[in-house]
Structure 1
Amino acid sequence: MRTDSRRRFLKRSGALGVAGIAGLAGCTTEQTGDGGDGGDGTDTDGDDETTGTATDGGGSTPDVMVVVGYPQSGIQLFSDYYSDYGDDDAEILVTDGLQDGELPQDVGNDMSNVRGTAPSASGPGADAFTEMFTSEFDYDEPGVFTAQAYDATAVQILANAMAGENDGQAVRDNMRVVANPGGETFGPSELPAAVEAAAAGENVEYQGASSNVVFDENGDIGAVSYEVFGFDEDGYETTDTVDFGGGEDVPQPEPQGDGSESGRTIRFGVLQPESGDLGNLGVPIADAATLPALQLEGEVDFEFDYQRADTQSQAQPAIDAANSLVSDGYPSITGAASSESTIQVAQNVFVPNGVVGVSPASTSPAITNLEDDDYVFRTPPSDALQGRVLAQLANEDIGASTASTLYLNNSYGQALQQAFVDAFEEAGGEVVAQVAFESQQSSYTSEINQAMSR
């Protein structure tokens, strides 16, 4: 069931602390998107209600421009930018959706004036995951959200083993049982032993590749960290990490179910964008989501039945693909990736059918308060925090007093750019333009000029 993928030219360096970031810990801003498609590094269907520009600073070039988008649109956007502006015209910050190591090569520029932020994969099992992932698949290094995808599937498998049945409600009721503090700890390298323990009804505390994977009452991750990266002609390089303290841990509930008998089949689906605007990012995420089953086959006395479905980087195909997985009897699904896809799939598929959805890439703050009957979880953090990290970089590292935003017109783009605007203005900065754009346009020159205040 593996899909061969394009090699990713990712370079990673040692993590360094960002001075002064501790003061931001816990200071989140709740900002919800109002319609649209996509969410955090992910998908769009082009039916968003928000229009182009907000404010205009009167023609002066901003000190920094924040770009929120996806890889395929990013190729055209940055090609248009460099054809009209020099590398030194503005500092540019991007977000996780544009953390693509092939972007400089595709754009034809080293993009040395571009830096970005993305959720970090710095959990206790990060090194073990990296070794397994690069050994199993044709990648130089794990890509963005791949560790989160591995963790999303691993927790589902453990919850299923604890529940003893392929039932969405039973899996849901054991998600925190196998993840939150209170049991014997297991990491990715000990996943076979963790499955055996969960199947025996023993308390299990999974500590993952991306984080400790502790779910709060909303299904969000607690303590999180972000990486800061910069582009060059070979791809991108991680330069710093930013740690946020989490809120209070939700204690581990009592196990629900009698465990699993040997030989039973554990089932799960994978719902990711393997084509379209997010295809470059979605394929390795989908690969990582299947890795726990590949790791466990032959190592435990269980069978694994899983199926991959393509959202095509759009909300309606995501709904259709999710319905297909549910019809085929999968009680839990690693997906979706895009925030808008996750929101739409949750409302139209997961909740009505009692199926667990665990997104490895959806970061819109709107998901936190989704009326989901506790069927929706996610392994990356909310973009309310990423907006703070971007503002910190703009203010303290770049020294910017003015900024503009150029953002994908969907739930992901709207919420993340607004989180940045709120944090930047709170710190005394001025946002001179907020410019929305649609996915995969033939030209972005007009939008770029508006964001650059021409």
Structure 2
Amino acid sequence: MTRKIQRRDVLKGASAAGLVAMAGCATEGDNGENGDGDVPDAVMIVGFPQSGIQLFRDYYSEFADQSPDLDIIVPDGLIDSDLPGEVDNDMNNVIGTEPSAAGPGAEFYADEYEAAYGESPGVFTAQAYDAMAINVLATVAAGENDGTEVRDRVRTVTNPGGEEFGPETLADAVEAVAAGDPIQYLGASSSCDFDVNGDIVTAAYDIVDFQDGELNTVDTVEFGAELTDEDNAAVAEDPVGVDDGFEAMVGVLLPETGDLGPLGGPIRDGALLAADQINDADIGVTVDYRVEDTQTDPQAGISGAEALVNAGYSSVVGPASSNVNFQVTDQVFIPNGVVGISPSSTAPGITNLDDNGYIFRTAASDVLQGPALAELAVSDRVGAASSGTLFLNDDYGQALEEEYVNSFESNDGEVRERVSFEPEQASYSSQWSDVLQL
């Protein structure tokens, strides 16, 4: 299923309100406020594709006729082009936001991904490509596969100060770092500048509309921030220089199965694309990577992380889901001094982890996405005065739902029923009944 790009407006420094204002004028057919009665005007759903399939099947088969004007708002975890086919519905009442690939190297990356895999890149795949590229560059800069040394050089290869490189010149970037030169990697997903907490300081969001079984990107807005003095003072040790034959070992810890499996495979492929690009360049530096499946489950994630550590991998792309990331970071990465760069863990709590500086992410915090979703809900495009929420009962779902609710209420909206759910249940009819008050 293809994604149609209707319009792309990237505005550095825009606010969430600015994003929603553009959404209001980007498409025709605004709904305005929905019908009367106890059914809320909108429901915001936080979940992953495997659960999403059943959630939407239950809604369209049992509740759509009773709530014909309902708008459904979804975040990145449910922006999946396969959902309409799996649900057997065009899902024309669904709209949402997802992190965009809006970095300087986005176009080159998208072409390379499509050439390698025969399909357009999906959500978080560019973030995974950048996470792999940064891990490799920092490892080469360290001159050894040692987590502490790699950690101390992540900002050496990303933040301003060195010669600029991007996805199109990734092999050249590796050669420059191998020669002992500091560089600035400008990524496919963003500029990849990291603050003192390991978060990126710029991010972009797409507003995505489900229409007639396809995804339409309505607008893209970039949120920009400057690095602070504290960010600029964070550790960034000089590259040591390496000889030909150096091998960077980078683990890949992502969900190939489980609730996030449908998105996890393409995210994994985004990471491997960067490694393969370097290995194919014949530049005297190679990447040894190994993939472990988290199964979108914390215990499986811990087992996979331990397998990577035991095999000598001191830096990792992943985990993907926030719930898994919290557990893996606490149980494996921090105790073993392993660098983790997640392409898609967006829970706000990751920012303030007591991680000794080992944890980074190329995806933005849901501190941004929650308000963006809420302001989309109250915008002219949707026009919701009341909302309910259905959210996955884990760190990701709870945190994003909380950000949405706080922002929706601050925009004078009424939040009614807030209903949590467990992943991959046989039916979600009772949850729908509760949130719709039917």
TM-score normalised to structure 2 length: 0.91
Q: In the TM superposition, what whole-angstrom CA distance separates every residue of 1:36-88 from its partner, at most 9, and x where no partner exists?
A: xxxxxxxxxxxxxxxxxxxxxx9711111101101011111100000122373
Choose which of 246, 258, 278 in structure 2 pairs with 1:264.
Answer: 246
Matches within 5 A, 1:84-123: 84-86=62-64, 88-123=68-103
Paired amino acid for 1:386? Q
Choose which of 400, 405, 408 in structure 1 pairs with 2:389.
Answer: 405
Choose which of 217, 232, 244 in structure 2 pairs with 1:251.
Answer: 232
Q: Name the counterpart of 1:181.
A: 160
Q: Name the counterpart of 1:22.
A: 15
Q: In the TM superposition, what whole-angstrom CA distance separates every residue of 1:234-262 from its partner, at most 9, and x where no partner exists?
A: 43121112332325352275533412111
Moved more, 277-286 or 245-254: 245-254
Matched, 1:296 2:278: yes
Give me the whole-angstrom Cα distance separating, in 2, the residues matched to 1:334 and 1:188: 17
Q: Name the counterpart of 2:350.
A: 367
Q: Is the 8 A contact 2:136 2:287 kept in 1?
A: no
User: Where do 5+ consecutive residues of structure 1 fail to align?
Assistant: 1-7, 26-57
Q: Name the counterpart of 1:71.
A: 49
Give me the whole-angstrom Cα distance separating, in 2, the residues matched to 1:305 and 1:77: 40
Q: Name the counterpart of 2:192.
A: 213
Paired amino acid for 1:151? D
Choose which of 204, 219, 233 in structure 2 pairs with 1:225.
Answer: 204
Q: In the TM superposition, what whole-angstrom CA distance separates every residue of 1:180-223 from its partner, at most 9, and x where no partner exists?
A: 01111101000011001111111200000000001100000102
Query: SS in structure 2 opposite 1:390?
Result: helix
The change in CA–CA distance for 1:199 and 1:21 in structure 2 (over 3 A counts) is closer
Q: Name the counterpart of 2:377.
A: 394
Matched, 1:351 2:334: yes
Query: SS in structure 1 opposite 2:138?
Result: helix
TM-score normalised to structure 1 length: 0.88
Give me the whole-angstrom Cα distance separating, in 2, the residues matched to 1:14 and 1:328: 46
Choose which of 194, 199, 209 in structure 1 pairs with 2:173.
Answer: 194
Matches within 5 A, 1:271-282: 271-282=253-264
The alpha-carbon deviation at position 313 of structure 1 amounts to: 1.2
Q: Is the 8 A contact 1:182 1:251 kept in 2?
A: no
Query: SS in structure 1 opposite 2:409?
Result: helix
The alpha-carbon deviation at position 157 of structure 1 amounts to: 0.6
Q: Is the 8 A contact 2:158 2:184 kept in 1?
A: yes
Count of aligned pairs: 414
Q: In the TM superposition, what whole-angstrom CA distance separates every residue of 1:8-47 from its partner, at most 9, and x where no partner exists?
A: 54443431369x963758xxxxxxxxxxxxxxxxxxxxxx
Matched, 1:439 2:423: yes
Matched, 1:12 2:5: yes
The change in CA–CA distance for 1:23 and 1:102 in structure 2 (over 3 A counts) is closer
User: Where do 5+ consecutive residues of structure 2 fail to align?
Assistant: 19-35
Q: Name the counterpart of 1:152.
A: 131
Choose which of 400, 406, 412 in structure 2 pairs with 1:422.
Answer: 406
The alpha-carbon deviation at position 351 of structure 1 amounts to: 0.4
Paired amino acid for 2:402? Q
Q: Is the 8 A contact 2:182 2:238 kept in 1?
A: no
Q: Name the counterpart of 2:61.
A: 83
Q: In the TM superposition, what whole-angstrom CA distance separates every residue of 1:336-393 from its partner, at most 9, and x where no partner exists?
A: 0000111100000000000100000100001000111100000000001101111111
Q: Name the counterpart of 1:135.
A: 115
Matched, 1:167 2:160: no
